[in-house]
Each structure stands twice: as C-alpha cells, then as structure tokens.
Structure 1
Amino acid sequence: MRCPFCSHPDSQVKDSRPAEDGAAIRRRRQCESCGARFSTFERTQLREVTIVKNDGTRQSFDRAKLERSVAIAARKRPVAPEQIEQLVSGIQRQLETLGDSEIPASRVGEMVMDGLQQLDSVAYIRFASVYKNFREAKDFEAFAGSVSEQGE
C-alpha cells in the first residue's frame, strides 16, 4: 500500500481488526520509508456496480459519495454514525446482490429514502427535498405533511 504522506510504495501492517460489523477489515499500517502511520479499510466487493444516472450517463458506484449524502441529510440529527454506516452497508449489499451490473440512480435513491424513513423523519425529508428536486416551498410542505400523516 502506497504511503499517503511520502508516496513510498511499501508499508507494513501493524494491526488488523474487523470493522463495520465484520463487513470490512481495518488495517493499521506504517510506512517503511518515513515511518508515518495510517489506516486502510478492506471491504468485500461481490460485483462491480454501475449507476445509471437520470440523464443516461454511467458511473461506478461510489460508497463514499452515498455515505456523504446520507450524512448530510442526517447532520445535526440524533442519528449515530454507526447507523449511517449500517444503512450504507445494507444498501451496498443490496445493490451487489440484485444481479444487475447496471442499476438506475432512482433505485438507489428509493433505497436511501426507505432507510432514512426508518431512522429519522427530518433526515428523510431533507434527503427527499434534494432527491425529488423540490422547487417551491409548497412542494416541501406537501411532502412534509404526507410524512407527518404516515407517522400518526
């Protein structure tokens, strides 16, 4: 593994342990050249997943991008980072086991919406406002009203 500090091509593994409920391995490494320490994560990937955007463009599934968007929706809400990690891991596993190598972005969005609806209604509404592209306050108000009716 290349050192992120000095770009030396070799590093030594100092410690390994399970992470993300056993879905990944966290490795603590030390650069053989500069001595800097850093962590890497190793995850099982069942298949390469390509996301087909609404405009027809294709891009590889990016777990970090999904994690970032969920974290933004849940910012300043009582949602633990572990819950976000579990949601993202669950979505990634679902995508990899669907059997299709190309998955529409709308399908991923629906999976996130389903997960966030279970975690926190405000995070759910925040994500929906971007995902469904609310243009006016009345769109937001109508959606929020439908969420509060479901909760009753």
Structure 2
Amino acid sequence: MRCPRCHNLEDRVLDSRMIKDGRVIRRRRECLRCGHRFTTYERAEETMPLVIKKDGRREPYSREKILVGIRKAFEKRPVSAQQQEELVDEVERHLLSLGEKEVTSRLIGEKVMALIKEIDQVAYVRFASVYRRFRDLSDFIEELRTLMEATSQEEGLPSTPSRPKGSGKPSRVKDFLPRLPLEEGEDTESED
C-alpha cells in the first residue's frame, strides 16, 4: 500500500480488525521508509442494483441521496450521525440480500420509511411528507392518524383514548388537530 506521506510502497501491518459486522477489515499500517502510520480499509466489492425511478429512468444507486434525505428527516432529533449511517447500511444490506440487478425507488423509499419509523416518529413524518409528496395539511393529518393508530395497536392501547374530565389537557390526536369537515359516514361526537 502506498504511504500517503512519502509514497513508498513498502509497509507492514501493525493491526487488523473486522468492523461493520465483518464486512470491512480495518488495517493499521506503518511505512518501512518514513515510519508514518496510517489506516486502510478493505471490503468486498458489492455491486448495488440500479434504481428504477418513477418515470422509468434507471440510475445508479446513490448512498448519498438516501443519507441526505435521512439527515433532513433527523435534523434536530436525538439521533446520532452514526445511527443514521447504520440505517443506510441496513437499507444496503436489504437491497443486496434481494439479489436483484434493478430495484424500484419505491422499494427503497418504503424500506427507509419503515426503518425511520422504528427509530423516531417525528423524523418518520418528516421523511414521509417529502417522499409521499404531501400536498397540504390534510395529508399530514391522515399520516398522523395512521401512525397513532399503529402505535396504539402496538402498545395495546385504544387508538383514541378519552381525556379525563376536568384535566384540561388533550390526550387524543384529534384534540391536537384542527377540526375538519366530516367525511361521509363519520359520526359526530358531542363536545365535552
């Protein structure tokens, strides 16, 4: 390996360690001419599938595109850059496990959303709003309702718990949301 300082090609390996679930080998090296120590990484060459866009175009997979979207979703959220990188690693492992030469952008987007949802619901709604191209507030509200129902079911709670009388604090999603015109078939509730 060429020394980054003196460009000599002779070195010795001081230490080798497997990282990233054994997919990468990190080697600590020392140049035999100048003594400079440096680190190299060795990994198997993995060919990511081509991405089929919504309009039918095909383009190379871009880790950076996914990472940019994830970073925007997790902005000012308590999720480290390392966790975000690991999320993208998980997406890539999934894509490689499919063994396909081409995958749809939809498949990638849905996988990213599912993984974000497990980590942070606020980031999930942010990502979903861009990915699903929410047009207006009603799209947000619908996604929030779906998320709240899923969360309630996972936790074994009713999807719209009632608030105790006199508490003054809303505990239902709809108490936080603006009143929208009722859709056909929805029942009206009496106000507290």
- Gap change, CA 1:116 and 1:105, over 3 Å in 2: same
Q: How far does residue 23 in structure 1 lie from its aligned partner after superposition?
A: 3.3
- For 2:81, the aligned partner's letter is P
Tell me the secondary structure at the aligned position of residue 75 of structure 1. Answer: coil
Q: In structure 2, list runs of 5 or more residues that go unmatched.
A: 3-12, 30-37, 153-192
Q: How far does residue 45 in structure 1 lie from its aligned partner after superposition?
A: 3.7
Partner Cα separation in structure 2 for residue 127 and residue 118 of structure 1:
13
Higher normalized helix content (fraction of residues): 1
Q: In structure 1, list runs of 5 or more residues that go unmatched.
A: 3-12, 30-37
The answer to which structure, 1 or 2, has the higher relative contact order (CA under 8 A, 6+ apart) is 1
Per mean C-alpha deviation after superposition, the further-off stretch among 76-85 and 19-28 is 19-28
Partner Cα separation in structure 1 for residue 59 and residue 41 of structure 2:
22
Q: Is the 8 A contact 1:46 1:97 kept in 2?
A: no
Write out the 4+ residue segments of structure 1 that deviate beyond 6 Å after TM superposition.
13-16
- For 1:49, the aligned partner's letter is P
Partner Cα separation in structure 2 for residue 61 and residue 14 of structure 1:
35
- Within the alignment, does 1:51 sit opposite 2:51 as a pair? yes
Tell me the secondary structure at the aligned position of residue 87 of structure 1. Answer: helix
RMSD, matched Cα = 3.4
2:60 aligned residue: 60
1:96 aligned residue: 96
Q: How far does residue 69 in structure 1 lie from its aligned partner after superposition?
A: 1.3
- For 1:113, the aligned partner's letter is M
Higher normalized strand content (fraction of residues): 1
- Can you list the C-alpha shifts for 1:42-70, whole angstroms capped at 9, x where unaligned? 54343341000001111111112212211
Q: Percent identity?
A: 42
1:24 aligned residue: 24
Q: Is the 8 A contact 1:24 1:41 kept in 2?
A: yes
- Within the alignment, does 1:84 sit opposite 2:111 as a pair? no
Q: Larger radius of gyration, structure 1 or 2?
A: 2
For this pair of structures, how many residues does the alignment match? 152
1:7 aligned residue: none
TM-score by length of structure 2 reads 0.61
